Chain A
Amino acid sequence: MTEALDAFRAEVRDWLEANCPEEMRDGGSGEENICWGGKRWQFQSEAQKVWLERMAAKGWTVPTWPKDYGGGGLSRDEDKILQSEMRRIKARSPLQSFGIWMLGPALLHFGTHEQKAHYLPPIARGEVRWCQGYSEPGAGSDLASVQSRAEPRGDHFVVNGQKVWTSYADKADWIFALLRTDKDAPKHKGISFVLIDMSSEGVSTRPIRLISGSSPFCETFFDDVKVPREQVVGEENRGWDVAKYLLTHEREMISGGGGGLLGGRGVGAMLDGADDPVLRAGAMTCEIDALAMGLTLERYKDMAKTGSVGDASAMLKYYGTELNKRRNEVMMLAGGSDALEWDGAHGSLPADWLRSKANSIEGGTSEVMLSIISRRVLGLPA
């Protein structure tokens, strides 16, 4: 077992050495360095393009997905090795996307074979970019009260309504949306999970500017959009189950992405010389919690391998995002006035700090996470 893994590690190491372009070994993980893919994607460099193509050919943009659907078919242990070898050479992630984090796992669980074969490989290759159409003006934390309608007309639906806070809707090729297909059923029982091509007639988007200066999300409008009925994932009117399943993956992603540590060249270097005991104490405590959170993510991944983590994933989302907000506050404090300028001495720090405030809102707020834990994990009365 360990021998096989050692051999795998050697193989991975050699392959990365031969195939990861030099420019992709800078550990760049900031927003500006992410490769999101999609039909309209403009590669930052030839190296970014080559790196994506090579990794996709190995199935390593989605290492644990089955090979049949564009994945690498790796076990959790093999995936750990791949990740650690990539970290070792500071390789960038070749591709990130909502398709990978959210839709993929939901399709693997609820999709038909035809749906998986049709939708998953383009996600793995970074050819189709997805966005998430859950929230509406009247349906935020109370997501199950979505009002946008998909009315069945023979072999297709006619979709009307409005979504909001749709991240990257203006850049996405497709959207997975929660739509009401039975308005007379109880609110959780009349929703379907529907895949819609953003280039369909009647779909439009309007960008919204965020406090961090960028406008990564949009209002999305559906005006008599025609959608084939086979684009429902899972059963019609049972979309809430798919939506919830997907949310657990989204939450794990948000909690893991933001964790991050302060040590080494991070805040340690920024603090150098500054002898503010309050700041130092904040940095220490944050580092301790971040280290423990990192271990917890690993423990939960191992748990997921043997069974379901279920609603306990709300803990990862809650704790990870609150921690990331604290971490950004510490960094801003350490930077002082140097960190107050857009694109100043600390680069994207001010924008990252502002963006981090959304972590405890998007994908379900911290308060909603705590309610999920208290009811479904602790069994407290609703």
Chain B
Amino acid sequence: MTSLLKTEDETMLADSARGFLDDAAPVSHLRGLRDAGKVHDPALWAQMAEMGWTGVLVPEEAGGADMGHAAAGILAGEMGKTLVCSPFIGTAVIAATALRQVANDRASAALRGIAEGKTIYALAVDEGPKHDPDAAQMEAVADGNGFRISGAKTFVCDGMSADRVLVLARTGEGLTLFDLPTDRDGITRSAMSLVDSRDAARITFDAVAATGDDVLGQVDDAMTVLRPALEAGQAALAAEMGGVAAGAFAMTVEYLKERKQFGVPIGMFQALQHRAAHLWCETEVTASAIAHAGRKLDEDPAQATLAVSLAKARATQTVTLAVQEGVQMHGGIGMTDAFDMGFYMKRARVAAEWLGDYGYHAAIVARLREI
């Protein structure tokens, strides 16, 4: 396998992404959206499309840049550092990966829409408070040549801004993945006011009509398409979380050098030094797992499950520690809304739950490692 160190191209990609995002989407951008009651910035998304980010996993024939999962992770990581608010993971990673599993004209057209920044996708899998795709109960009942879908999905990230939604529903013999426009009759969306100020929806389906054309992949076999898409999303989300941890950590170390108490910088106190050093070690170890997941998805995608769950589990632990230490080591100011650390803490909590929490991924690792 290729080394886990960044290649020259990857370093350039990271640097140019950082340059762009520091300008276009620092943390104040998220704060601005929140204060304006918005969850999506179409102008920012259009710029990402122009730079080829929305097409990071779209084949060149469909107008994409086809840079691969390691590159997608690098972009997600840079976005994480400043909590960039965009439908990147749901659309450019999850939906694009799902669509790539299907070789037909409709899928190619959909991929083109993603690459061009014209179509935003959301993934509607969860029905309860914990991620568990295999447990989906929502039903798509056979009706003539098609289906009628009824039920409710929750925690549909980017669900309010999405043009289309990938919906997992139970059919005769198993699970089926549908690709539906969000304005289809019978679909009702209501916004969830998530702690991290990002876009998420509850979506109800009231006898929504779907045809065979709306099925992504094969009927009763959602997982052939969905599993790789979920894994790609989990890896990219882990990378974003690595970025969130790095962003929070950098702020904390800065503060340890600046803030004076008892006549000295608080970073002189060994109790804080050792906690900061321990946290740095956690971020380094997690960075390896994140890089490895990207490489594995690019080079051996059929065998990437362990690598992906390892990355998501580690990233979840590390970012949780990073934001908790971040608030604690800032003292009172860490608790204020005017200060950015709170945004990091909130994003970390939401990302920890999305696409499987620590326990979900730990159980996968344990199963594959025969523990």
Contacts and interface: CB of A to CB of B under 8 A. Distances in A.
Interface string A368-382: 011101110111111
A347 interface: no
A268 B257 CA distance: 45
B229 interface: no
Interface string B274-305: 10111011001111110110000000000000
B261 interface: no
B274 A291 contact: no
A293 B267 contact: no
Contacts of A296: 284-285, 287-288
Given A283-B366, A302-B3, A318 B273 contact: no
Interface stretch (A50-58, A87-95, A256-264, A352-360): A256-264
Contacts, number: 120
Contact of B274 (A271, A283, A306, A371): A371
Interface centre among A268, A303, A315, A380 (most CB of B within 10 A): A380
Contact of A380 (B257, B286, B313, B314): B257
B5 A306 contact: yes
A299 B288 CA distance: 7
A378 B280 contact: yes
A287 B5 contact: no
B288 A295 contact: yes
A12 interface: no
B370 interface: yes
Interface string A277-288: 000110111011
Contact of B371 (A267, A298, A375, A381): A267
A381 B362 contact: no
A374 B369 contact: no
Interface in A303-340: 303, 306, 312, 315, 318-319
Contact of A287 (B253, B270, B285, B369): B369
Contacts of B277: 318, 369-371, 373-374, 377-378
B285 to A, nearest CB: 5
Contact of A315 (B5, B265, B280, B292): B280
A379 B281 CA distance: 15
Main secondary structure of the interface of B (DSSP, over half): helix
B264 to A, nearest CB: 7
Interface residues of A, number: 42
Contact of B4 (A293, A295, A371): A295
B44 interface: no
Interface string A243-285: 0000000000000000001111001100100000000110111
A83 B287 CA distance: 24
A291 B4 contact: no
Nearest to A293: B285
Nearest to A318: B281
A373 B281 contact: yes
Contact of A280 (B278, B292, B313, B371): B371
Contacts of A289: 285, 314
B369 A380 contact: no
A292 B268 contact: no
Given A299-B4, A303-B5, A373-B280, A285 B362 contact: yes
Contacts of B253: 378-380
A341 interface: no
Contacts of A291: 289, 306, 310, 365, 369
B335 interface: no
Contacts of A318: 277-278, 281
A292 B371 contact: no
B371 A262 contact: yes
A201 interface: no
Interface in B233-270: 253, 256-257, 264-265, 267-268, 270
Interface string B194-233: 0000000000000000000000000000000000000000
Interface string B305-319: 010001001100000
A302 B7 CA distance: 12
B86 to A, nearest CB: 28
A367 interface: yes
A367 B256 contact: no
B363 interface: yes
5 contacts: A262-B371, A291-B306, A302-B3, A319-B285, A378-B280
